[in-house]
Structure 1
Amino acid sequence: MFSKCLKSLNDRERHEYILRSFVLNKKHVECRKHKRDIDIIREHHRFLWSDNEKEVNASANESWEVRLARRYYDKLFKEYCIAELSRYKENKIALRWRTEAEVVAGIGQFQCGSRKCSTRDGLRTWEVNFVYQEQGDRKNALVKLRLCSEHSVQLNYRSKKREIKRLKNGECSKCPAVQPNLGKSKSSKNEISATCFEGKGLNDTNDISYLETSSYDAEYGKTQNENVTNLTDNVWNDKLNVESETMSRETEFERYLEDLLL
């Protein structure tokens, strides 16, 4: 049975010889695979954790792997996504949330949200209904992407996505929803009838514009300004009665000492 005489070997040498010859050299024997933290996070990661799931999992006896994946999810920033568009022709797009380092560097908001793209000019904001498969269930989530012109074409290769725009200065007057609020009572004269803001890039300060229209007349505005000026003058002209304030503090302090001595 043994090619080597085991009688001349001691117990330890005999044990090592049997292990090398009949156990460790077999192909079906697999070494134990140690999982890293990133492997556990990838295994239990979810694109979205709802508040109800967090409460249920926190109350239940969940494993430490799930708690680790949930803690990693809480550290992510969920305003804009990072996209992988290498398989856009197959209508397969991968999305993930941004990390803290990416938020500080402006990646995904002031820089193109596609991986390995450093373009900062001509960015466009897209709203995507992201459909994905997770734990055997089909789910969807509405996310936002900031992409350059080249990767915007790749994103809309199969279907046109909804673009979020902001109108530049002077374009809000063309908006049909903005109408002046004329002929109303004075109670509604201070209200803003419409606010229009939509636009292209977040880098340009002139892209964001607000249109405010109000219907109060010049006489009403004058009376309001006069009332405000009179109030401010009265406030600054009145003298502060310091004596009454100091007396009240002294009396309160005396009463406090009397209560302590009783």
Structure 2
Amino acid sequence: MKVSVQTAEALLLMIEAQNLPIGARLPAERALCQELQVSRAALREAIGQLIGLGVLESRAGSGTFVRQPLAVTMFRASQSSIEPTAIKDDHAAKDDDTDPLYRLDVYEARLVLEAGTAWYAAQRATPADIEHIRAAYDRLADFQRQGNTEQAALADAQFHLAIAQASHNLVLLELMHNLFERLQHNVVTARRKIYTQTYEFDKLHAQHSAILAHVSDGEPQAAREAICEHIGFVNQQITDIELQQARTQRVSRLGILL
């Protein structure tokens, strides 16, 4: 664990132990360094992280103040790494392949969660947040051009999670992290089913571009509408493809030649 992250956790524990209320001023930098036994560089980086999460705020000429106390467990959830991982072929991952209603549950969960994360991200995203979202968007576009479905799906999931991080709402972020494996598998399933439809892929690219633009431009209503339209589009495409597959299988069973 990075020293700055450990220092941020120590600061949160100090705020909790001393029961510092919203608006309370933190001790001076030198005093904090002595109390926490850390360097000024580590302390400044930790304070920067907590300011970014909305826990602290810096007032020019006045110092650093408590803006919104945060439990250490929630801070750790916000620091969870969003790294590419292999798709797990376990029972949970199979559910939305064998049970269309379960896939619908995933769709509805994404719709509810991501409408909120996009809304708040458009209001709260920092320049660093925007760069994080844009980097995931660029990786997605690169892998898509290469025809690398697996890595494109991972980048797609990371794009949506980067938006959740930019919402600066730790409860929403924790829920999105818990949904990550399900979201990741859901995206892979969608891409496998529409992979051969270049026109539809162009639509997906345009939708991601619109989401990024609205979040970057600070347009919460447009960002929410764009992400809901995108998730609805993907769900409808999969539904249509599954319906066509079911019809084809039925015709085949009946022995009717197309």
TM-score by length of 1: 0.22
- Of the two, which has the highest radius of gyration? 1
TM-score by length of 2: 0.22
- Decide which structure has greater strand share: 1
- Decide which structure has greater helix share: 2
